[in-house]
Amino acid sequence: MNKKIFFTLLLSVQMIACMAAKPDSLKRVSLSSFQLLHINNPWISSSNPAGLSKIDGIMPATINLGLFFEDGDYKRVQQGDNLIHYQFFTESYSKLKKVSLYGSFRYDKSFEKNLDYSCVNNPFRDTPYTMIDTIGGDKCDREFFTVKGGLSVPLNRKLVLGGAVAYNVGLSSQDRDPRPQNKVLNFSITPGLLYSIDKFHFGLNFIYEYYNEDISVKIIKENEYITLFQIHGPGMFTFHRASSFARLYDRNGYGFDSQINYKSGNFNSLFGAKILFSNEAVKDGRKASNASWSVCKSDSELDGILLDIYNHTTIKNKLTIHAITANANIHTYLGTEIIQRLEQVGETNLEHWITYAREEKYGSTHINARLMYDFIKLKNNYHKNYGLKFAVNYYNFEEKYYLPSQIQNYENLLLSFYLDKSFYLKKNIFSISAGCKYKTNLSGKQNFEKTNFIVDKLLIPDFEYLTDSYFAPGLKFSYERSLNKYFDSIFINTNVDMIRASKGFSRIMVNFTFGVNF
């Protein structure tokens, strides 16, 4: 079936289901409904779809259009100077008898300008095995569709079965030789169970993820060859010159997430632990005239293990909510290079890549720990009066390439603080939020046995970005108006964040959202 027809049908079904839900004039959905939904229902933050059955309160839905703009010189080397991003987004939570449902659809279209050193859709995907070219000033055009759906069905009084699917597909392309066309598919399926005993609830869900990025690099200019670099680690690469090239990233991930939830009166706490294993194979080749993979070479493999421990605790006391979110995750990667040589074999003397060795050459560790406190004062059960948010985020990164020894590591601390206040004037709600972020580098060093242009042009400037301190004030303003028919409210929302880094670089990010809640 044509993708566009499929997505349109899916969206229509979802919207009809949302509209069919009985309106409740006492429980008007507003912008703050989504924040309250997440704070009051810790199960939503877990990956267990069976937790949908534990949602209390209103089941909000939204349809909105967004415009995101970003510009400035405080950026990573492989990031564009500016970005324009359009988005259509709709999501809804609903209940049909005993079945709890969640669905969302998102369409993203973005243009990233002046992009350097990248032939992959996302060069910051934690894999060292990227592919780059040195012809800069690219414009990357991305178009992605994301559909998510989940449901939970009580099997009996104690046991709930849930399932969720997420499907993200899109295309990114660049407009200057060499022109990579990246077809990206991201898919996950999550079945889960939830078992309740009195005030305790135990959850367990399985996770399967699949990622596929199929890159076809073309050079439109006739008779032109361009050098493409296959990165193997910090400052390590192989290269070749070609007029076309193809690369395939193929990743499978699987794991499970387990949860314990204690809920009693005003106290609601969810503790969870997730482990996820992944294996990504990278293959290179040229496309023959029949568009099949020919002379396919195995470049590398990346094995990853993610451990995530999290806790969401909410204490609700009449119109006051205290919410504490803490999580720590460690993500390690092990990279294996596959050493091959193209040889003529057999009686036909056809060329094949012959594997000589598989060498474990790369390792990296990402540690991310976060503690966040939310204080919310409600106007009534469904609307915010004012709020305060404070968060501390610690990030530690280390990567090593072995022989020759190429090492870099750093650790950063990010502090953020926000205040918000809502004003109610009859049918109108004005909300204003102000705050700031402060990032500081705690330590960091690069130690390269071999230096080359990749180190000079990419790794050193990127490291300066990653270890630079910054101060980022942010301002948010939103306006909502209640509606009497079809929808609960219509809103417009504006965010402005401005980063000022210590070395004089800056970046501004502006976000406009317009839509309806119901």
Partner 1 sequence: MKKILIYIFVLFILSSCMKNPEYKSYTAELKIDFGDDVPSEYQEGAKVVLNNLNKSYSVEALTTPEGIVNFTGVEPGFYSATITHSFSANGCNVYINGLKNLDIFSSIIDTIPIVVSKTNAFIIKEYYYSGCLTPAGKQYLSDQYIEIYNNSETTQYVDGLSIVEHESYGIGENYWTFLPDDIVVKMIWTIPGNGEEHPVGPGQSIILARDAINHKDDPNGNPLCPVNLGDADFEFYVYTASNADIDSPTSPNLIEDLFTFRGTDVCFHVKGGSAIALVSIPGGTNEEERKEFINNNLIAKNNSGGSSTRYYCKIPVDNVLDAVEVVFDEPHAIYKRLPIELDAGYTYNEFGARSAKCLRRKVKEVIDGRTVYQDTNNSSEDFFKGVEPKPKIYE
The binding site for partner 1 (CB under 8 A) comprises: 221-225, 227, 232, 236-241, 258, 260, 271, 273, 275, 277, 305, 307, 309, 330, 332, 334-336, 339, 341-342, 344, 348-349, 351, 356-357, 359-363, 365, 400, 402-404, 450, 452
As a whole number of angstroms, the distance between CA 332 and CA 261 comes to 28
Q: How far is the CB of 351 from partner 1 (least distance, A)?
A: 8
Q: How far apart are CA 206 and CA 189, in angstroms?
A: 8
Nearest residue (CB) to partner 1, 292 versus 344: 344
For the bound state, the minimum distance from the C-beta of residue 332 to partner 1, rounded and expressed in Å, comes to: 4
Nearer to partner 1, 222 or 425 (CB): 222
CB of 239 to partner 1, least distance (A): 7
- Residue 404: CB minimum distance to partner 1, A: 7
Q: Which is nearer to partner 1, 56 or 224 (CB)?
A: 224
Alpha helix (H) residue ranges in 350-489: 453-454, 460-466
Whichever of 189 and 226 has its CB closer to partner 1, that residue is 226
Minimal distance, residue 272 CB to partner 1, in Å: 9
Q: Are strands 236-242 and 226-233 parallel, antiparallel or unpaired?
A: antiparallel
Phi, psi torsion values for 484, nearest 5 degrees: -95, -25
Closer CB to partner 1, 7 or 229, in the complex: 229
In Å, how far are 152, 240, 262, 412, 510 from 104, measured between CA atoms? 16, 43, 28, 34, 24
**Contact criterion met (CB below 8 Å) for 16 and 8:** no
CB of 451 to partner 1, least distance (A): 10
Q: Are 245 and 288 in contact (CB under 8 A)?
A: no
How many other C-beta atoms lie within 10 A of the C-beta of residue 32? Answer: 25
Overall size of the chain counted in residues: 518
DSSP tally for the chain: helices H, then strands E: 4, 21
**Closer CB to partner 1, residue 56 or residue 343?**
343
Which of 411, 462, 404, 467 is closest to 232 using CA atoms?
404
Q: How far apart are CA 458 and CA 78, in angstroms?
A: 8
Rounded Cα distance between 215 and 226, Å, is 16
Tell me how far, at minimum, the Cβ of 151 lies from partner 1, in Å: 27
Select 32 or 336, whichever has its Cβ closest to partner 1. Answer: 336
